[in-house]
Amino acid sequence: MAKFKYIARDANGNRVEDTITADSQDAASSALKRQQITVLSISEEKAGLFSLGKGGGAKKDPKPRVSSADLVIFTRQFSTMIGAGLPVMECLDILAEQADDPGFKACLYKLCNDVRTGTDLSTALGRHPRVFTDIYVNMIRAGEASGQLDTILLRLAEYLEASESLKRKIKSAMTYPVISMVMILGITGFLLVFIIPKFEKIFSNMGVELPLPTLIVLGISNILQNSWYFIILVMVAVFVGVTQFKKQPKGRYIWDSMMLKMPVFGDLFQKVAVSRFARTFATLLRSGVAILGALDIVSSTAGNAVLEEAVDASREAIRQGETLAKPLSDCPIFPPMVVRMIAVGERSGALETLLEKIAEFYDEQVDATVEALTSLIEPLMIGLMGFVVGGIVLSVFLPIFKMQQSLGKSR
């Protein structure tokens, strides 16, 4: 039998530092888990079990490059090991050893060291905002307080997977039109810069009055050839101007409002915003985060200034003893169905359940909208390409037709 010193949290979330006698460290961890105690660190009393890790030293650690998929895998593995009874510090040590990215490896070793010195896991995670977001840190804090860290980690992994799936749907909806537009602009530019100038010399020797479409195409071709640097300068200026405009609070609000009112894509952006709001809010509430704290996190992760303003208004309304649903009903993003379901959830005490239903419904709506957009955009892009290229070709042949008509009359 050996004596092990541990730092843990009991079922009420209180910090506990004590010793336990057991045959092995695993036996000690299992015994504590049966007592509903979440182990933060455990070591044999004679000697420390864990080293300070490989991330120390004067050398500056590389910046972590952690993708969403990597974070999901890390969170699921962390949940599995915590559920199996391993202490938090040992989990972090194992996960650090198998991390591929040097920056992430150093980050995990620092977490291990912080927990070893008695720092709460959530506090240690909060020191690495490049890797762990506010919602991640707050859910871990709720898991520590409730003694259900493994459950919270699993729920967090599911949330991250759902968020990543939503991002992939948006990318799939935007990829086709972007690629198609680049191809259209590329083909048009090639024709105007390299092909049309050759016909301009032919037209000058024909001695006929050029039709208006031909004059327009020749004018655009001359501009592209002689003032290309000016066009690039204007494009860069517009890009920089829009970027700076979006950085201003009022500019960001105007931009996000315009995105929601965009033809074709505005409806998709609205459904994505509602789905993200509902899923984030439901996940935080189900994990034990207080409603005001949950709304604060939802506001900071909304990704849309219009929705953020509505969430902030709801937070203030709750502080003054009013309902959550009323301020949301004044926001154009939230359909009446969503507002009524939230109101019912507030009255019945099942707000997180109804929010999850809303998120699932709008995820399905996003899928359907993406499929509809894909079916709609393909013929639109083909038609646009045919119109542009066909217009250029027609402008080239119109003078030839006109010259043939002149020759026919002269005979």
pLDDT tens string 253-290: 999 899 888 887 888 888 888 988 998 898 888 888 88
> Which residue type, as a one-letter code, is found at position 162?
A
Please provide the average confidence, as pLDDT, over all residues in the chain.
83
Going by pLDDT thresholds of 50, 70 and 90, the confidence category of residue 117 is: confident
Tens digit of each residue's pLDDT (9 = 90 or more) over 220-242: 888 888 888 888 899 999 999 99
Query: What is the homologous superfamily of the domain 50-132 according to CATH?
Result: Type II secretion system (T2SS), domain F (1.20.81.30)
Please determine, looking at this structure, whether the domain spanning 167-411 carries the CATH number 3.10.580.10: no
> What pLDDT is recorded for position 406?
67
- Provide CB contacts within 8 A for 324, sequence distance 6+: 291, 314, 317, 318, 342, 343, 346, 351
> What pLDDT is recorded for position 344?
92
Same topology, domains 1-49 and 167-411? Answer is no
Please determine, looking at this structure, whether the domain spanning 1-49 carries the CATH number 3.10.20: yes
Going by pLDDT thresholds of 50, 70 and 90, the confidence category of residue 159 is: confident
Share of the chain above pLDDT 90, in %: 9
H-run or E-run covering 83 = helix 68-83
> What pLDDT is recorded for position 237?
94
Find the distance separating the first CA and the last CA of the chain, reported in whole Å.
117
> What pLDDT is recorded for position 402?
75
Give domain limits for the chain: 1-49, 50-132, 167-411
Query: How does strand 15-22 pair with strand 2-9?
Result: antiparallel
Indicate whether 48 pLDDT > 50.
Answer: no
Going by pLDDT thresholds of 50, 70 and 90, the confidence category of residue 89 is: confident
> What pLDDT is recorded for position 87?
87
Rounded to an integer, the average pLDDT of 373-383 is 82
> What pLDDT is recorded for position 315?
87
Indicate whether 114 pLDDT > 70.
Answer: yes
Distance CA 82, CA 289 (A): 20
> What pLDDT is recorded for position 263?
81
> What pLDDT is recorded for position 358?
92
Indicate whether 411 pLDDT > 80.
Answer: no
Distance CA 38, CA 150 (A): 9
Indicate whether 217 pLDDT > 50.
Answer: yes
> What pLDDT is recorded for position 341?
92
> Which residue type, as a one-letter code, is found at position 29?
S
- The dihedrals phi and psi of 117, each to the nearest 5 degrees, come to -85, 5
